[in-house]
Structure 1
Amino acid sequence: MCITILSMYFVLAFADVNIALKKPTKVSSTHDPRITEGKDYLCCNSTYAVDGDKTNLAYIQGDFFCTVAVRVANQQAWWAVDLQNVYKIDVIDIFGRTSNDLDQLANFDVEVIMPSCSCNRWTNLDEGDVIHCHYQATAHPRVTITCPPNTRGRFVRIKRRDTEYLTICEVEVYSDTLNSLNQSDSSRIVTAYACGYIGYRYEGPVIGTSVADSNVHCTLICFTETACAAAEYDKNTNVCTLKGECMIETQSFLFPDNNKDVFFI
């Protein structure tokens, strides 16, 4: 049984902070200039779109610090970022080298995705709940997109509607403030989401173990560990086992076990 729980935990205030900066990214297929042009220069990696460097997005002695996804078997090209938690998304900024790079934004879909319960979330983007953030293309190298009210998700995906190349130089994602910040307090309470399987154990790489008061407490511990993908709580022993992402995408890593609960973050 898959359920969703809400937990409260403290983190540093993130108002006006780009929450996509240096987060994990993926692209449908990366352009390789060595194959298509017979040249060897820095180009096209998916991470360039969240490296935070907008000082010069154009060519620098052949280098091209932008993401470029190519056509593969007439499929739609896409790029996505994993924000590594669920946020209330307010604004998404997309940058190109020049206004010409974004002239075809009318052919893009900008999506905020709440993933389904899965041990490998990257491969199940299309199974999650998708909210489309609508916009109007502009004659500028930057497009600012305002998402609908109460848009929440973990992934942001930019996908072409046609089968042309996708070029993105930088993407910034800003989260609307969820709670007011007291001047006397340097922390903020935000909402954290976890997807749980009650009565199951999870076969994945163990990061560490500790004693927890409940499955919610165990899940909160998992949130504090960067490499933690799942919190497995033993209801008999109160042992909380933190585990990493499953490695084989096609294999199930969940098994019935009445003594345990698993929560994926």
Structure 2
Amino acid sequence: MMSRAVIGLLYIFTSCVFSDVNIALNKPTTMSSIYEPEEGYHCCNSELAVDGEKPGWVGADFLCAHTAPNDNQQPWWAVDLQNVYDINLIHIHGRTDCCPNHLVNFDVEVIMPTCTCNRWNNLDEGNIYHCHYQATESQNITINCPPNTKGRIVRIKRRDTVNLVICEIEINGNPINSLLKSDFSSTYTTYACGKIGYGYIGPVLETSVAQHDIQCTRRCITNTACAAAEYDKKTNVCTLKGQCTNDTQSSFFPDTYKHVFFIQ
């Protein structure tokens, strides 16, 4: 049987081996606006930038994320990596048939979001790490982020109001804030965003008794439907809560004895 020490070494080795995996592939995305071509060909949605297709045109379809022109705002595109990473490399593929001006004058930002139910809300209130500024026109660019560039969301944002076009983005990074259970061989990689002195109104999944808030948070980590762990240090009650939906109004309320941890 492997010792816990060996298992820990294997985990570290695995992280290094897979650090070049594209962690953006098929992850949730959004952008400031969507171009709707008159011709009606398949085009332009934000998820096309993480679908694994690098060419702009595939057959009759234009498989690139494309913001609407002339919408009088700084266009942007963002991907939720669904975990917190130390970002190393970012590869951005633009159109190669024309229009290098669609990929110029933009910032690459890595964002650690605030504790909100909707991951896209209030991105500018999170911790923003500036990875790169691209001043010149480009069709393909490889970016090395500075050391300690970490976060969950990567956003590409132009400094002007010209439309933004991204055919594919590939992101390489290592997960951080690993939480290893000392009494088991299992390994969990997560990031918990805490709000102390508050309770959380949201859909309840289950309740149980826990010795401390860390144990409560671990239970949330092992429950795939759990989005938040609420711990009452007075009663030792651990309440696991799910993601809010359109029909569920979620909010905080002050409570001296409660701690809430959102699983990022």
Query: Which range, TM-score by smaller chain?
Result: 0.7 to 0.9
Match of 1:182 in 2: none
Q: Which ranges of 4 or more aligned residues in structure 1 deviate by more than 6 Å?
A: 137-140, 186-189
- 1:135 touches 1:146 (CA, 8 Å); kept in 2? no
Are positions 1:21 and 2:25 aligned together? yes
Question: What is the rounded CA distance, in whole Å, between the counterparts of 2:192 and 2:175 in structure 1?
Answer: 20
State the Cα distance separating 1:27 from its structure 2 match: 0.7
CA, structure 1 residues 209+99, in 2 after alignment: closer, same or farther (shift >3 Å)? farther
Q: What is the CA–CA distance in structure 2 between the aligned matches of 1:239 and 1:87, rounded to whole Å?
A: 31
CA displacement 1:140-161 (0-9 Å, x = unmatched): 6421111111111111000111
**Letter aligned with residue 131 of structure 2:** C
Q: Which residue of 1 aligns with 2:51?
A: 51
Shift of 1:107: 1.0
Which digits, 9 at most, give the CA deviation of each residue in 1:15-58, with x for residues without a partner? 2211111111111111122xxx2x3221111111111233x431
Q: Tell me whether 71-80 or 96-105 shows the greater mean CA deviation.
A: 96-105
In the superposition, the TM-score normalised over structure 2's length comes to: 0.78
Contact 2:74/2:162, CA 8 A, preserved across alignment: yes
Instruction: Count matched residues.
Output: 243
Aligned to 2:5: none
Q: In the alignment, which residue of structure 2 is the partner of 1:264?
A: 262
Q: TM-score when scaled to structure 1?
A: 0.78
Judge conservation of contact 1:99–1:141 (CA < 8 Å) in 2. no
Q: 2:126: which partner in 1?
A: 128
Structure 1 Cα separation of the partners of residues 29 and 46 of structure 2: 6
The one-character-per-residue Cα deviations of 1:175-214 (angstroms, maximum 9, x if unpaired) are 14769xxxxxx98775x43221223211122344455442
Task: State the match for 2:72 in structure 1.
Answer: 74
Unaligned runs of 5+ in 2: 1-7, 178-184
Partner of 2:180: none
Tell me, yes or no, if the aligned pair for 1:112 and 1:130 is still in contact at 8 Å: yes
Q: Is the 8 A contact 1:66 1:169 kept in 2?
A: yes
Distance 1:118 1:26 in 2: 17
Out of 228-237 and 84-93, give the one that drifted further. Answer: 228-237
Say which is worse superposed, 69-78 or 156-165, in terms of deviation.
Answer: 69-78
Q: Which amino acid aligns with 1:144?
A: T
Structure 2 CA distance for partners of 1:229 and 1:189, relative to 1, 3 Å: closer
| Structure 1 unmatched ranges of 5 or more | 1-7, 180-185
In structure 1, the residue matched to 2:140 is 142
Q: Give the direction of change, closer, same or farther, for the CA distance of 1:19–1:165 in structure 2 (3 Å limit).
A: same
The one of 219, 222, 229 equivalent to 2:220 is 222
Task: Determine helix, strand or coil for the equivalent of 2:202.
Answer: coil
Q: Give the corresponding residue for 2:182.
A: none
* C-alpha contact 1:25 1:81 (8 A) present in aligned 2: yes
SS of 1:15's equivalent in the other structure is helix
AA aligned to 1:28 is S
Amino acid of the structure 1 residue aligned with 2:25:
L
- 2:35 is matched with 31
By relative contact order (CA 8 Å, sep 6+), the higher-ranking structure is 1
Letter in 2 for 1:50: V
Check conservation: 2:94, 2:103, Cα contact below 8 A: no
